[in-house]
Structure 1
Amino acid sequence: MRRRNFAAVAAGLAAATLLTTGTGPAALAGPPASARIFRHFDLAQGQLPENIALAPDGTAYVTFAAARQVASIDRDGTVRVLATLAAPADGGIHTPALGFALTTGIVRQPDGTIYFLYASGDAATTGLYRLPRGGVPCRVAALPAAGLPNGLALDERTGTFYVTDSVLGTISAVKPGGRAVVWSSAPELAATGFLGVNGIKARDGAVWAGNHDRGTLLRIPVRHGEPGPVEVRASGLSSIDDFAFAGSDVIAALVGANRVVRVDAAGRSTTLLTAADGLQNPTAVAVRANTAYVTSAAYLTAADPNLIVATLPRR
């Protein structure tokens, strides 16, 4: 990653954190998670883990943002690069908000097929990609080069992918074999200075998303395929990035605030992990049973991108 672009990301995250700090209900005191750093990554090689998906055997699949890669991390910590996307001719400097081309959201299907997003500032390459097991990536849906496709979720009931654009403030839908269409551009998705809607999940007839700048967790009911009114389920989540569900709770990564929090059904947050546990600007969370897998991209710290494995405290 070019140093000036890295600095631009850090400045944006820091500013957004200041904008959202102190809003909404304060974090509650509670038992922390028991955590360990499972794998360190190479900052110089652009191995900044942006998003994560889990396989049943415990293998983690991540996007390495600045390396433009998709990789797997085996249970023994072995990293295998599965795909590297070509840099755009301009090196990615026209990628909105960030100034470098990057791989972002990732989803893994039961047959091992991986879907992921690439934001390059280039109309010929920005979009949703499919990576079959043992194959090569191909773009299955174009997305606006003027935006920043960031979060990716799959509604397994309908086969619809939902894609957040953190610059344009939209959620797009990609149906099987179809093109991307804007599904929602509600004002609650918009940025207030740096990045808007970010992480996303599909669950129980609704789409959930976080707004990075506003520090909000949102729920949008899906009604006959169309979005219902946006519900703000929690606020005060400074610089929220991606998140995962643990029962009825949400485990969220606060990238600029350098925390991982649990958000209950009433919107109250409890801090689970901090820098003392090894966090280096957490970007995403995956949960299986009582274990959370947390990726840290070190966008601000510029020190130690890593993967943390944490045992969640029982409620």
Structure 2
Amino acid sequence: MMRLLHIVVCIISAFTITFTENVEAYNKSVEITKGINDLDKVILHGYKGTSVEVYLYGAQVTSWKNEHNEEMLFVSSKAIFKPPKPIRGGIPICFPQFSNLGPLQSHGFARNSFWTIDIDPPPFTPNVTNSVFVDLLLLPTEEDLKIWPHRFEYRLRITLGPKGDLILTSRIKNTNTDGTPFTFTFAHHTYFSVSNISEVRVEGLEKLDYLDNLKNRTRFTDQGDAITFNSETDKIYLSTPSKISVLDNEKNRTFVIRKDGLPDAVVWNPWAEKAKTIVDLGEDDYKQMLCVEAAAIEKPIKLMPGEEWKARLELSAVPSCYFRGKNDSNKVLEGT
């Protein structure tokens, strides 16, 4: 009996030590701190010095750095970190409306709402092994309900993978109690940091239909081999593949966008003249940014009470492969 008791005590002690070590490791990997203008933010510390910073204001990722401490996301030199102004750059969340395609303010209210850390989230799809993550939650305020009279739960998991990949997993649930369905459009408005917009190309969207926002959303079919930039661009590509690549020749870096539940993709750069009209964007900032946004726009998502919508965005950065001066995008788009 004494021997059995000794074994039980040892097991409990071992579990306590392991649990304590795990909590301490988590606390070191997930840092809750203050950002610009004393706004709350969370920093995820990953393997080999990779990191992600996310503000609770807007649940907005504003920094994503690789193991060489290189910044992958663009944030405007004139970004205003002061509510109710949205933060210009990083990855704003457009919900429950993309752009002005509806009665709400442009891009909805999620990007300038205060989110909370979700301390008791329901089970997510098994997370990436050895990853670091934070769960955030958005519930409608009384002011939100006045302009969009629907109750919902928006749960967002932001994950930094062991190889430095950034993963955003969204779960939006209709919690209306009166039997009312609702519809919404959505986008992760990702601002990539690039060396020079004139040296960048987007591959994976060629030959697809798109709506041109510069021409009253007229529908066209892309005729090029890739998307390149020499003027203002604002297009919504429809029924896009699950993988898209953004090739930055000067940095010899390719961003790979993998998405699920987000059939559309927006490609945007304001160029010189439009940039001058955007008060929270530096005059030359357009040269170092490109937005390629995973989205659900053409066919709004409809949820009945109790139903939940799920979507996943995974971003990674890999060295570009060259052969006689040309980037081999097939290796990027077809790779795992």
Same fold (TM over 0.5): no
Please tell me whether Structure 1 or Structure 2 has the larger radius of gyration of its CA atoms: 2
Higher strand share: 1
Higher helix share: 2
Highest relative contact order (Cα 8 Å, sep 6+), 1 or 2?
A: 1
Q: Report the TM-score when normalising by structure 2.
A: 0.24
Q: Report the TM-score when normalising by structure 1.
A: 0.25
